[in-house]
Amino acid sequence: MDSSLFYICRIQEFKVALSEENINLKTLRELCFNGIPFEGGIRALFVTKYYDILVNIHPLFVFVFSKREVYSQFLKEMIIQPGIAKANLGLSREDVTLEDHPLNPNPDSRWNTYFRDNEILLQIDKDVRRLYPDMAFFQRPTDYPCQLILDPQNDYETLRRRVEQTTLKAQTVNRNRSGVTNVSSPGKALNLYPSNEYEVLPNGSEAHWEVVERILFIYAKLNPGIAYVQGMNEIVGPIYYTFATDPNSQWKEHAEADTFFCFTNLMSENRDNFIKSLDDSQCGITYKMESVYSMLKEKDLELYLKLEEQNIKPQYFTFRWLTLLLSQEFLLPDVIRIWDTLFSDLDRFHFLIVVCCDYPISDVQTILAKAKDLRDNS
C-alpha cells in the first residue's frame, strides 16, 4: 500500500476507535503502540486521556473539562503575592496586619510560605529557561497567554517578575535530587540571566517556557513531599509541546491545564524515581537500574561482560534514561514517538527497561521494534 494512503487509513482507524461509545482498549493500545498521528487533533485528544482511557478510570469528557476548571482555581489560590489588593476594588494595598506582614515570624504565615516557595521557584526558573535549547519553540510567545495572571486588574503576579525581584535580593538556590540545598554568592545571582540571553516579550505576552514554569510551580505547591526536582522539566516539556502545537485550537487553548493533569498522572507512576529515600526499595531507581543490567546479562552476555570488565556501572547512564524516560537522549519528535509506544503498553516501565537494553540505535523505529521482539520472546 502507498505510504500516504497507509497513513490516511491509520488516521481513520484512530478516529473510529476514539468515537466508539465503549472504547476497545486493546485495539486502542495496538494503534498507539505504532505511533499516534499528529493530524486532526488526534494526538492531543489521546494524550489528554492516556491514563483515563487506558486505565479506564474516568468518563471521557467529564474529566477534561472539570479538570480545567480545577486548574484555574489552583492558579487563583497559589499564584498570588500576599498583601496585594485587587486594583478594581479601588485599593492600592491592603492594611498591613501582624498576621499578614513580611516580617511575621510565624512559620505558617502567608509571607513565610511565599519566601520558601521562592527557593523552589528559582530552581524551576533556571531549568525551564534552558528547556530544549536547540528549539526556538519554548522561547516564542504562546497564542493563549494566561489572562488571569497577566490582567493588571487582578492581584496575581507573573512568576517571571517574581523571579526577577527575588534574584535582586537573594542568593542563587540550587536543590538537587538528594535534597541538598546549595547557595552561591549573591554576586552570581545578580548575573543569573544575562540581559541579552532571552528576548523580552511585550506586555501581555508570555513565552511557552513561562507556562511550563507555572505548571511545575503549581505541581510543587500541591506536592510538598517531593516539590520540584531537577529533571521534571524534561518530562513536562514533551507533554506541553504536544498540546501547544496541536492544529486544533480547542486543544491548544487549554494546553496549560491539560498538560498539568497529564504530567500529574505520569508523575503518580514515576515519582518514586525522584525520591532518594526510596532508591534501594523495590520501587526505587536502584532496583530499576539493576534490572537493566540483569536483562542485558540474559539477552546480550557479551556486552554485559564487556561493561563489567570496564567497570561501567548501570548508574553511569541508566539513571538518566529511566528517570527522564529517555527525554534527554533523543530529539523531541523522537521522544514523543517513543512515548506513544511506552504509554500504550500495559507494563510501560518494564517496557522502558527493555528499550534501554536496545539503546543506543540511531533509528527509533528500530529500537522499538527490537524492544518489542525482546519483550515478546522473554
Is 276-377 CATH 1.10.472?
yes
Contact predicate 118/102, CB 8 Å: no
Alpha carbons 71 and 136: distance in angstroms, whole number: 27
Residue 23 has a pLDDT of: 74
Cell numbers for 324, please give them: 527522564
In order, the DSSP letters of 249-299 are HHHHTTHHHHHHHHHHHHHHHHGGGG-GGGTTSTTSHHHHHHHHHHHHHHH
pLDDT at 255: 92
For the question of whether the overall pTM of this predicted structure is more than 0.85, the answer is no
CA distances from 157 to 84, 151, 181 (A): 10, 9, 26
pLDDT 10s per residue in the chain (378 long)? 556 777 788 888 888 887 777 778 788 788 888 888 877 667 766 666 554 554 443 333 444 557 888 999 999 888 866 555 333 344 444 444 445 555 555 556 666 777 788 889 999 999 999 899 889 999 999 999 998 888 877 767 788 888 887 775 544 455 555 555 554 433 333 344 443 445 678 888 899 999 999 999 999 999 998 899 999 999 999 999 998 998 888 889 999 998 998 899 889 888 888 887 777 777 778 888 999 999 999 988 999 999 999 999 888 889 999 999 999 999 999 999 999 898 888 888 889 999 998 877 778 999 999 999 988 887
Comparing C-alpha atoms, which of 19, 373, 40 is closest to residue 27? 19
Residues 5 and 175: their CA atoms lie apart, in Å, by 51
pLDDT at 225: 87
pLDDT of residue 191: 42
Q: Where are the domains of the chain?
A: 1-34, 61-89+101-165+198-273, 276-377
Cis ω on the peptide bond leading into residue 194 (within 30° of 0)?
no
Rg of the chain, C-alpha, whole Å: 23
Is 185 buried (19+), middle (13-18) or exposed (0-12) by CB count in 10 A? Answer: exposed
Q: Half-sphere exposure of 125 toward its Cβ, with a 13 Å CA cutoff?
A: 22
pLDDT of residue 40: 64
